[in-house]
Amino acid sequence: MEMTQNKILLIHPLGYPEDRAGEDISRKANIMPPLGLASIAAYLEQFEIQADIIDCYAHPFSDDLITAYITKEAPSFVGFSCTTATFLDGVRIAGQIKKIRTEIQIVFGGVHVSALKNKIIDRYPVIDYVVVGEGEHTLHRLLTAAPNEKAGIKNLVLRSESGKAVFTGFRKKQIDLDTLPFPAYEKLFGFPNAYKLPIFNYPSVPNASCISSRGCPYACSYCDRSVFRRTFRYNSARYLYHHLKYLNDEYGIRHINFYDDQFTFNRKRVEQFAGLMIEKPLRMTFNCAARAEHLDAPLLDLMKKAGCLEMIARKVELIKEAGIRVKGLLMLGLPGETRQSIQKSKTYVNSLKLDDFNLAKFTPFPGSPIYDQIQKKGPVMGNFDENWEKMDCMQFVFVPKGMTKSEMDEEFITFYKTHFMKPKVWLNYVSMLWKSPDSWKRFLKDMFGFLRFAFADKRR
């Protein structure tokens, strides 16, 4: 069978062997749809390019499905979207695909390859192209350009005739997000029920995630912004309102988790969006993340009226006064961390009236400013075991100087234990019985796994 031009399969890898997925507490707590791939699929389909998605994270036993698709559909391209932790699993699947049809072009995108660019093409012969940054335009050009035009496509790393990797440079003009179609949710098998928002973070089902902006103007040392770089673009309030309405009309979605890095960065947009939600209610609620400086009492009041239930911020008191639940996003183990600094953080976090928190283990991702510093300074900053498959923020691959890995693990467990031993915290979870009954159902179903994670730090 000949390969079909104008057809691409997009794959979201699981990141580890499929038989371990059933016990993975991280998947039980949260399965996020691959919205980037769904957006690319919707974009390509406008140009009559068939784009299908196989999400191995939501559907772990997908290897056979991929093989069957490649054999039957014979797409000309297969694209992968990977984080650092899932990259090598993507390479494994790409190898299997090439074994079935060597002529298929393999393209990788996402944060990890955007940061490492040429190194990826030089080190992994199975990969033909790397898309640097957002994928819509670049993939469209790649799929439709003649072979001799490919070197002229911006935001691409390809292999030259001599076999060396060449980066074509950045495109000057970035995508106006309001010109993009809504993500192709219909391409995500089982949407919305196959996906799960973070447990205890939503009041009702069915629910979904949504990304309404790209980029972040800040420069936190541990954050890799290789995909959208230091820009900030966003959907208008009107587009956003219609996107939510579409999700509500088509899929009955009742709660949205805004996955934006900086949902409240543009105050006017949030005011207009909240205004629309109050004026023409969709009977939907939402939660989002924000930096403290982009919050104040009037804005919080407005967001509460518009249906906002949860925020992440330091202005905890202010948020609570507005009647919104608060979740803290914390990170442990940055360079310079000591027993004393951890104790201080613990005392501080305990003094806040957080309803919930998430503690990540600091991971120096390629592309983050701190990764370069750690590479340069080496053991002066700490010990870094750069094992990509372990870099999922749930393992201490970096141990700050003066600490050992077992001390860091111990501190991590006591951090959670201190929080979960507080009767107030449990009362709060009990109150979620009627605020988020579905979360309780999920908790009871996998209670042993959740408790094992909270008290013993065991992901599987």
Question: Which one, 142 or 210, has the nearer CB to ligand SF4?
Answer: 210
Least CB distance to ligand SF4 at residue 126 (A): 31
Least CB distance to ligand SF4 at residue 218 (A): 4
The position carrying tokens 């093989």 is 67
Question: Which one, 220 or 433, has the nearer CB to ligand SF4?
Answer: 220
Q: Which of 122, 156, 160, 159 is nearest to 142 (CA)?
A: 156
Amino acid residing at 82: C
Cα 105 from Cα 79, distance rounded (Å): 8
Least CB distance to ligand SF4 at residue 195 (A): 22
Least CB distance to ligand SF4 at residue 221 (A): 9
Instruction: List CB contacts of 147: < 8 A, sequence separation 6 or more.
Output: none
Least CB distance to ligand SF4 at residue 452 (A): 29
Question: Which one, 185 or 371, has the nearer CB to ligand SF4?
Answer: 371
The position carrying tokens 């899932």 is 86
Least CB distance to ligand SF4 at residue 220 (A): 3
Cα 129 from Cα 246, distance rounded (Å): 34
Instruction: State the Cα torsion 69-70-75-81 to the nearest 10°.
Output: 80
Cα 435 from Cα 433, distance rounded (Å): 6
Q: Which of 198, 220, 123 is nearest to 358 (CA)?
A: 198
Question: Which one, 41 or 391, has the nearer CB to ligand SF4?
Answer: 391
Least CB distance to ligand SF4 at residue 230 (A): 8
Query: Which positions lie near ligand SF4, rule CB under 6 A?
Result: 216, 218-220, 223, 225, 261, 291
Question: Which one, 77 or 228, has the nearer CB to ligand SF4?
Answer: 228
The first and second tokens of residue 248, run together, are 């509500």
Paired strand residues for 53: 10
Cα 342 from Cα 134, distance rounded (Å): 37
Least CB distance to ligand SF4 at residue 443 (A): 28
Least CB distance to ligand SF4 at residue 340 (A): 24
Least CB distance to ligand SF4 at residue 368 (A): 9
Terminus-to-terminus CA distance in the chain, angstroms?
A: 42
Question: Which one, 135 or 215, has the nearer CB to ligand SF4?
Answer: 215
Question: Which one, 242 or 291, has the nearer CB to ligand SF4?
Answer: 291
The first and second tokens of residue 413, run together, are 């467990």
Question: Which one, 76 or 368, has the nearer CB to ligand SF4?
Answer: 368
The position carrying tokens 């999700």 is 247
Phi, psi of 30 (to 5 degrees): -165, 120
Q: 31 near 446, Cβ under 8 Å?
A: no
Instruction: List CB contacts of 323: < 8 A, sequence separation 6 or more.
Output: 304
Count Cβ atoms below 10 Å from residue 430 Cβ, excluding itself: 10
Question: Which one, 261 or 356, has the nearer CB to ligand SF4?
Answer: 261
Q: 319 near 355, Cβ under 8 Å?
A: no
Burial of 451 (0-12, 13-18, 19+ CB in 10 A): middle
Question: Which one, 139 or 313, has the nearer CB to ligand SF4?
Answer: 313
